[in-house]
Amino acid sequence: MYIDPEQQQGPLERHDVEQQNIIRRLRSLPQEIPQPYDWAEFQRRARERANADTLRGRSARWHAALAAALILVVVGIAVWARVTRPVIPLESHVPGNSKLPVTGSLPAVGAANEKRANDAERWLASLPSEPVVVRVGTRAAVTGLEDRIAQLDDFLSVARVEGAQPARVAELEQQRVRLVNSLVQVRYAETLVSASR
Amino acid sequence: MVRLVEIDISEELLRRASAGDEAARVVIYTATAPATFALVRRLIANRAIAEDLFQETMMALFERLPQFRREAPLGAWLRQIAVSRCLMYLRSPWHRARLHLESDGEVDIPHGLSALVTSPPAVESFDVERALASLSPTTRAVVWLYEVEGYSHQEIAQLFGRSLSFSKSQLARAHVRLREWFEPSEGRHTCTSIQSNSKVL
C-alpha cells in the first residue's frame, strides 16, 4: 500500500515545505530579462530627459522672473500712490466738523485749535494702541487718519521752518484738528464696541 | 544566468567609462541592463513605469560612476540604486494616487477575493510571475527583497522608512497570498465553485 509522504507530515512541516516551495519558485524566476532597448535608444532617452529638465529649469526661472517683476510693479505702484497721494479737502469727508471754528481771527483760531488738539490727543494717548476687537474697516480708517495727521505734522514743521504765512500755518493746524477730531470719533466708536462685548 | 549583485566589471573598463569612453559604457550597459531591468520589473509591475525607472537607474549609474569606490561588485552598487529608485517611486504620493485611480493588477486585492476575481493557472504550470503580480506593490517588493535579493528585515524597514514589524508582516502576508496561488487546484476550484454558487444563490 502506497503512503503519500506528504500525508504523513504534520501541519507545521507541511507549512514549512510549502514555504520552501514558494521561495524556490521565486528564486527560479529568470534573473535577467532582455533590456527594453539598446544603448542607442538609452542615449536618446537620456538626451530627451536632459532637454526636458533644461526646459523645466528655464520655465521655472522664467516664472520666478515674472513673479519678481510683478511684485516690483505692485510695490512701485503702492509707493508711487503713497508719495503722490493728493491732499483731499477735509471738509468733504470729515463728519460733524461744522461745529469747528472756521472763521475768526487767526491767533484766536490758532489757540482754540491748539487746545482742542491737545485735549483730543491726551484722550487718544490714554487709549490702548489697539482695541480688544479689531475690525478691518475701522482699523483701515484709523490707520488712514493717523497717516494723514502724520503728513500734516510734516507739512506744519516745514511751513514753520520755512516761515510760511501765518494764514497757511493756521489752515494746516485747522485741518489737523479736524483730522484728530475724526480720529477721536472713530476711536470712541471702537471703545464703545469693545465695551459692549 | 547572472544575478545583478554578482556582475563585476574590470577596473580598466570602469576607469574608461568614468572618463566618458562611450565604448566602455556600452559594454557596461550591455552587461548590466538585463539583470537591472529584471530586478526593476520584479518590483514594479507596470512595464512603462518599470522602463522609466530602469532609464533613471542606468542614467544615475553613469552619472555617479566616478564616485564608485569598488568596495563591492558594480552589480551590487547598481542594485542599490535600482532598489532605492523603485522604492522611492512606491513611496511617492503620485504612485499612491495612481493606485486609487487604476486597477491594472497592482491594486491589492483583498485577501480571499483573488480566487474569485482571477482564474489561477493549473498546478503544473504555476505562473510565478502572475502570482507575484497579484500581490500589492509593497508586499511584492518586500517578499522579493527578502526571499530573493537577501535583504534583512532591518534593511527593508530602513529602505521603506518603516518599522521592523512592517517588513515582517508584509512578508507573512505575501506568503499567505502566494500559498493561496500555489496550493493544489482541486481545493481552490472547489472553493471557487462554492463561492460562485453562493454568489448566484
Q: For residues A17 and B159, which has the higher predicted lDDT (pLDDT)?
A: B159
The stretch A36-52 carries a mean pLDDT of: 90
Cβ-based contacts of A45 with chain B (< 8 Å): 55
- The DSSP output letter for B110 is P
Angle, CA A147 vertex, CA A141 and CA A148 arms, to 5°: 90
Distances, alpha carbon A190 to alpha carbons A107, A122, A176, A194, B89, in Å: 34, 17, 21, 6, 57
What pLDDT, on a 0 to 100 scale, did the predictor assign at position B14?
92
Residue B73 has pLDDT above 60, yes or no: yes
Confidence of residue A110 (pLDDT cuts 50, 70, 90): low
Residues 154 to 173 of B: which have CB under 8 A from any A CB?
none
Cβ-based contacts of B177 with chain A (< 8 Å): none
Q: Which three cell numbers stand for residue B67?
A: 564616485
What pLDDT, on a 0 to 100 scale, did the predictor assign at position A4?
55
Query: Which residues does B164 contact at the CB level (< 8 Å), separation at least 6?
Result: B153, B154, B157
Q: Would an 8 Å CB–CB cutoff place B4 in contact with chain A? A: yes
- The DSSP output letter for A164 is -
B166-198 burial, b if ≥16 CB within 10 A, otherwise e?
Answer: bbeebbebbbebbebbbeeeeebeeebeeeeee
Q: Which of A22, A34, A39 sits opposite B179 (nearest CB)?
A: A22
What pLDDT, on a 0 to 100 scale, did the predictor assign at position B77?
93
Confidence of residue A148 (pLDDT cuts 50, 70, 90): confident
In tens, the pLDDT along A57-81 reads 888 888 888 888 889 888 888 888 7
Taking CA–CA distances from A50, the nearest residue in chain B reads B59
Q: Which three cell numbers stand for residue A101?
A: 471754528
Quick check: A36 and B182 CB within 8 A?
no
> Average pLDDT, whole number, for chain A?
76
Cβ-based contacts of B42 with chain A (< 8 Å): 29
Contact B103, B95 (CB under 8 A): no
Number of A/B CB contacts below 8 angstroms equals 75
Would you kindly state where each structural domain of chain A is located, as residue ranges? Answer: 39-85, 90-196
ipTM entry: 0.71
What pLDDT, on a 0 to 100 scale, did the predictor assign at position A9?
60
Would you kindly state where each structural domain of chain B is located, as residue ranges? Answer: 4-98, 108-200
Residue A85 has pLDDT above 70, yes or no: no
> Average pLDDT, whole number, for chain B?
79
CATH classification for the domain delimited by B4-98, as one of 3.40.50.300, 1.10.8.80, 1.10.1740.10, 3.40.50.360: 1.10.1740.10
Cβ-based contacts of A29 with chain B (< 8 Å): 42, 128-129, 132, 148
Contact B109, B134 (CB under 8 A): yes
Q: Would an 8 Å CB–CB cutoff place B24 in contact with chain A? A: no
What pLDDT, on a 0 to 100 scale, did the predictor assign at position B72?
87
Distances, alpha carbon A129 to alpha carbons A137, A191, B34, B129, in Å: 16, 11, 74, 74
- The DSSP output letter for B147 is I
Handedness of CA A145, A146, A149, A151 (dihedral sign): negative
Cβ-based contacts of B7 with chain A (< 8 Å): none
Considering the domain delimited by B108-200, tell me its CATH architecture.
Orthogonal Bundle (1.10)
Quick check: A28 and B128 CB within 8 A?
yes
Choose among A76, A78, A85: nearest CA to A150. Answer: A85
Q: Would an 8 Å CB–CB cutoff place A31 in contact with chain B? A: yes
What pLDDT, on a 0 to 100 scale, did the predictor assign at position A86?
58
Residue B110 has pLDDT above 80, yes or no: no
Q: How far apart are CA B131 and CA B140, in angstroms?
A: 10
In tens, the pLDDT along B115-170 reads 333 444 434 335 788 888 888 899 999 999 999 999 999 999 999 888 999 999 99
In tens, the pLDDT along B21-59 reads 999 999 999 999 999 999 999 999 888 999 999 999 999
Q: Would an 8 Å CB–CB cutoff place A39 in contact with chain B? A: yes
Cβ-based contacts of B178 with chain A (< 8 Å): 22, 26
